[in-house]
């Protein structure tokens, strides 16, 4: 693919790779919603459903929007691969492949990726469940527990694998060439969170004003968690570790989430869980300053 790109075109793509990536990504994420639902899609709670109902669950999404939500991670991955191929050719693709399946990083990283934040999530929700039954995990009251677990696993694997090809394999690597871990993580976290706006903006939140509920859902815990993903990647250069961090967080949203938490309880959980993750970010940042950055990449650390 790379050999067919004219040198002048490749130079332009290489200089503006990040701009091209974000422009296409956000255009695809927001464009269809606005076209299908009109400019009021992000203020009208029925605007994104395509069914005339407020978006409270995936069942309220029309078939077009539901298909778009499922296909989005794959599309993001394909865009990232295309930008890398056009800007760096086969060498860039080989590098992406090597980072995607870099698994010799040590068992502690696997433990951190798979257990750290999920255990923290379970701990926060478990503590809150002692104060109110609304925090009882959804899997406890679900009629089809096996079906819910399968759905959670499939959603986690699809979202984790394909999204991290884009957000870690391309975007994180690009930002770390110019910024440190925290700055890169916050920048990427803001972009990554805003990209999910079409899935949240039309929802109803149990009487909580949308102006409060949407930012809390978008940023309270996803932002610090993205910083942790960037930190883990900066230490391992493994996209696989980022994938393994993403999978359980998506899956837990299905397993531990509950419709009973909608409204104030959901806001409380997100704020507490987010604060706990920021404590972890502060801890790994302080610890990271005690060690030198990995060789070959001065922006890490």
- The per-residue pLDDT for range 129-139, each reduced to its tens digit, is 999 999 999 88
Mean pLDDT throughout 49-73? 54
pLDDT score of 278? 96
Locus of tokens 């700055």: 183
Residue 237 has pLDDT above 60, yes or no: yes
**Is residue 82 within 8 Å of residue 217, measured between CB atoms?**
no
Residue 36 has pLDDT above 90, yes or no: no
Quickly state the pLDDT bin for 142 (edges 50, 70, 90).
confident
Instruction: Report how far residue 251's alpha carbon sits from residue 84's, in angstroms, rounded to the nearest whole number.
Output: 29
Quickly state the pLDDT bin for 52 (edges 50, 70, 90).
very low
pLDDT score of 32? 63
pLDDT score of 65? 55
What is the Cα Rg of the chain in Å?
A: 20
Sign of the dihedral through C-alpha 96, 228, 203, 197: negative
Task: Please report the DSSP string for the chain in residue order.
Answer: -GGGS-HHHHHHHHHTHHHHHHHHHHHHHHHHHHHHH-GGGGTSTTTTTSSSS-BSSGGGS-HHHHHHHHHHHHHHHHHHHHHHHHHHHHHHHHHHHHHHT---S-HHHHHIIIIIHHHHHHHHHHHHHTT-GGGS-HHHH-S-HHHHHHHHHHHHHHHHHHHHHHIIIIIIHHHHTTS-HHHHHHHHHHHHHHTTHHHHTTB--TTS-HHHHHHHHHHTTHHHHHHHHHHHHHHH--HHHHHHHHHHHHHHHHHT--GGGTTHHHHHHHHHHHHHHHHHHHHHHHHHTTSPPPTT-TT--
Mean pLDDT throughout 201-226? 83
**Is residue 42 within 8 Å of residue 196, measured between CB atoms?**
no
Residue 300 has pLDDT above 90, yes or no: no
pLDDT score of 10? 77
Mean pLDDT throughout 83-110? 94
pLDDT score of 57? 42
Residue 54 has pLDDT above 70, yes or no: no
Instruction: Report how far residue 301's alpha carbon sits from residue 297's, in angstroms, rounded to the nearest whole number.
Output: 9
Quickly state the pLDDT bin for 28 (edges 50, 70, 90).
confident
Long-range contact set of residues 204-208: C-beta below 8 Å, sequence gap at least 24: 204/45, 204/54, 204/55, 204/56, 204/262, 205/262, 205/263, 205/266, 205/267, 206/262, 206/263, 206/264, 206/266, 207/263, 207/264, 208/263, 208/264, 208/266, 208/267
Mean pLDDT throughout 23-27? 91
Q: Which two tokens stand for residue 44?
A: 């009208």
Give per-residue pLDDT as tens, 156-202. Answer: 899 999 999 999 999 998 899 889 899 999 999 999 999 888 776 55
Quickly state the pLDDT bin for 16 (edges 50, 70, 90).
confident
Percent of the chain at pLDDT exceeding 70: 79
Mean pLDDT throughout 43-68? 48
pTM: 0.85
pLDDT score of 94? 96
């Amino acid at each position: 693919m790379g050999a067919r790109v004219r040198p002048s075109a490749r130079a332009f793509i290489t200089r503006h790779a990040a701009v091209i990536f974000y422009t296409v990504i956000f255009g695809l994420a927001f464009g269809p919603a606005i076209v299908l639902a009109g400019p009021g899609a992000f203020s009208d709670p029925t605007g994104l459903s395509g069914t005339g109902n407020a978006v409270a669950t995936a069942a309220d999404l029309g078939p077009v929007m539901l298909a778009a939500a499922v296909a989005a991670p794959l599309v993001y991955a394909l865009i990232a691969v295309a930008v890398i191929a056009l800007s760096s050719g086969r060498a860039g693709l080989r590098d992406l492949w090597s980072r995607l399946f870099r698994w010799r990083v040590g068992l502690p990283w696997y433990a951190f990726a798979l257990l750290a934040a999920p255990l923290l999530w379970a701990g926060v929700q478990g503590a809150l469940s002692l104060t109110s039954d609304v925090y009882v995990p959804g899997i406890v009251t679900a009629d089809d527990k096996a079906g819910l677990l399968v759905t959670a696993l499939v959603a986690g694997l699809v979202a984790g694998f394909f999204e991290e090809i884009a957000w870690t394999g391309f975007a994180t690597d690009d930002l770390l060439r110019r910024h440190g871990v925290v700055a890169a993580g916050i920048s990427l976290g803001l972009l990554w969170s805003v990209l999910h706006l079409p899935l949240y903006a039309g929802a109803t939140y149990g009487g909580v004003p949308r102006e409060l509920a949407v930012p809390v859902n978008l940023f309270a815990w996803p932002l610090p968690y993205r910083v942790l993903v960037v930190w883990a990647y900066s230490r391992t250069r493994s996209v696989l570790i980022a994938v393994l961090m993403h999978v359980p967080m998506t899956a837990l949203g299905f397993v531990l989430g509950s419709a009973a938490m909608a409204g104030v309880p959901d806001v409380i959980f997100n704020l507490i869980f987010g604060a706990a993750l920021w404590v972890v970010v502060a801890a790994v940042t302080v610890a990271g300053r005690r060690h030198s950055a990995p060789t070959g990449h001065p922006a890490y650390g």
